[in-house]
Amino acid sequence: MTVTLADVAAHARVSPATVSRVLNGNYPVAAATRERVLRAVSELDYVVNGPASALAAATSDLVGILVNDIADPFFGIMAGAAQAHLNTPSDASAPIRTNAERLAVVCNTGGSPARELTYLTLLQRQRAAAVILTGGAIEDAEHSAAVAAKLARLAEAGTRIVLCGRPALGGAEFVHATLSFDNRAGARRLTGHLLSLGHRRIGYVAGPAERTTTRHRLEGHREALAAAGAADDPALVLHGSYDRASGRAAAARLLSAAPDLTAIVAANDTIALGVCAEARERGLRIPEDLSVAGFDDLPSATDAVPALTTVRLPLYEAGARAGALAAGAGAAGHVEVVPAELVVRGSTGVVRAG
């Protein structure tokens, strides 16, 4: 039923081998022959059989991108950027050359350790060409070990491992490249900004407890408080998930328990939006009555809330870089850390909270 490479070969009066060579363009073929083959291909509307080709070549053109929450633009931006840069030069809107094109597989773990592992297995089963892990990792020794083991096996089978917005795996030489965010410095800078404006009672709505981003950002916040000699009241720190509902609930609790708060730092913009919603519900004006500061880079959200102080992470750039690295660009085994000044880049232009 479906057209095979052999059909094309017959139609073009050449051998299957030649057709394969033309299609993969990795071998010299006479111009005339090539023409003939190409014509046959389009005449028969032939499409390579990915699985067969992957089996024979022992590698596929699938690239897995693991995200914690596909509905969160934080990941959407990174994933989109990575995907756009998986296939070298090309401007994003250009039609992709259908052949030998890498296909991004965005996998939504929902923050679940189990699903993270399962997806890695699924990608291993597909013999993925690369895997990009994005966002904060779960801080659990057992799970970390399991992930590391899985990644090691993947790498061993030829899959390129790239970390984006994820802390480096200590001494894991199977990681092709790491693009880690300096969350600690970013948070330090963010809280430092609020302190410099005179705020002293600052609430903090953190992310889920066992996440690296949660911990690092919170540590940065505390470092800033310490550096300014401000009190670090544990009652002002609340944990929750990285979503609006959580941010809103936390703000409600904070504002009830400590009405003297003048500012609230949110561990990410999604949470910040929830905090803003709660503030408005209570008739508080932002930033006159309450300053709210978010962390991520969600221009779509933050612009809508002029009161939001944002430390811009170069999300898109990081994702783009990760995509290119996954595609094989850059030196293997090289660990790259997004420098602090890049992480907070642009923040001066964005800071608007009072």
With CB cut-offs between 5 and 8 Å by kind, which of DNA, a copy of itself, none does residue 80 bind? a copy of itself
Of 10 and 249, the one with the shorter C-beta distance to DNA is 10
Is there binding between residue 126 and DNA (CB under 7 A)? Answer: no
Hey, which bits of the chain come out as E strands?
Answer: 62-67, 103-108, 130-134, 160-164, 175-180, 202-206, 237-239, 263-266, 291-294, 308-310, 334-337
Of 44 and 340, the one with the shorter C-beta distance to DNA is 44
Tokens 């890049």 correspond to 342
Measure the CA–CA gap between 119 and 346, rounded to whole angstroms: 35
Of 2 and 348, the one with the shorter C-beta distance to a copy of itself is 2
User: Residues 144-162, buried b or exposed e (16+ Cβ, 10 A)?
Assistant: eebbbebbbebbeeebbbb
Applying CB under 7 A, among 42, 45, 58, 234 the residue interacting with DNA is 58
Is there binding between residue 114 and DNA (CB under 7 A)? Answer: no
Phi, psi torsion values for 138, nearest 5 degrees: -85, 130
Q: What is the token pair recorded at 151?
A: 């990644």
With CB cut-offs between 5 and 8 Å by kind, which of a copy of itself, DNA, none does residue 26 bind? DNA
Is there binding between residue 30 and DNA (CB under 7 A)? Answer: yes
Q: Are 75 and 68 in contact (CB under 8 A)?
A: yes
DSSP state of 95: P
| Residue 212, burial from CB neighbour count under 10 angstroms (0-12, 13-18, 19+) | buried
> For the residues of 40-69, what is the DSSP string, one character each?
HHHHHT----HHHHHHHHT--SEEEEEES-
Is there binding between residue 154 and DNA (CB under 7 A)? Answer: no
Applying CB under 7 A, among 25, 39, 43, 52 the residue interacting with DNA is 52
Stretch touching DNA by CB under 7 A, among 26-34, 168-176, 209-217, 328-336: 26-34
Applying CB under 7 A, among 25, 39, 43, 56 the residue interacting with DNA is 56
With CB cut-offs between 5 and 8 Å by kind, which of a copy of itself, DNA, none does residue 280 bind? a copy of itself
With CB cut-offs between 5 and 8 Å by kind, which of DNA, a copy of itself, none does residue 30 bind? DNA
With CB cut-offs between 5 and 8 Å by kind, which of a copy of itself, DNA, none does residue 35 bind? none
Length, in residues, of the chain: 354
Applying CB under 7 A, among 25, 39, 57, 303 the residue interacting with DNA is 57
Q: Coil, strand or helix: which one is 261?
A: coil
Applying CB under 7 A, among 10, 44, 49, 228 the residue interacting with DNA is 49
Applying CB under 7 A, among 11, 18, 116, 165 the residue interacting with DNA is 18
Q: What is the token pair recorded at 173?
A: 């030489």
Applying CB under 7 A, among 10, 38, 44, 53 the residue interacting with DNA is 53
With CB cut-offs between 5 and 8 Å by kind, which of DNA, a copy of itself, none does residue 33 bind? DNA
Of 104 and 206, the one with the shorter C-beta distance to a copy of itself is 104
In terms of Cα–Cα distance, which of 152, 133, 180 is closest to 326? 133
With CB cut-offs between 5 and 8 Å by kind, which of a copy of itself, DNA, none does residue 121 bind? a copy of itself
DSSP state of 136: P
Q: What is the token pair recorded at 133?
A: 């892990």
Residue 34's identity, in one-letter code, is: R
In terms of Cα–Cα distance, which of 205, 229, 228, 199 is closest to 218? 205
Is there binding between residue 27 and DNA (CB under 7 A)? Answer: yes
The contact set with DNA (CB under 7 A) reads 2, 4-6, 13-18, 20-21, 23-24, 26-30, 32-34, 46, 48-49, 52-53, 55-58
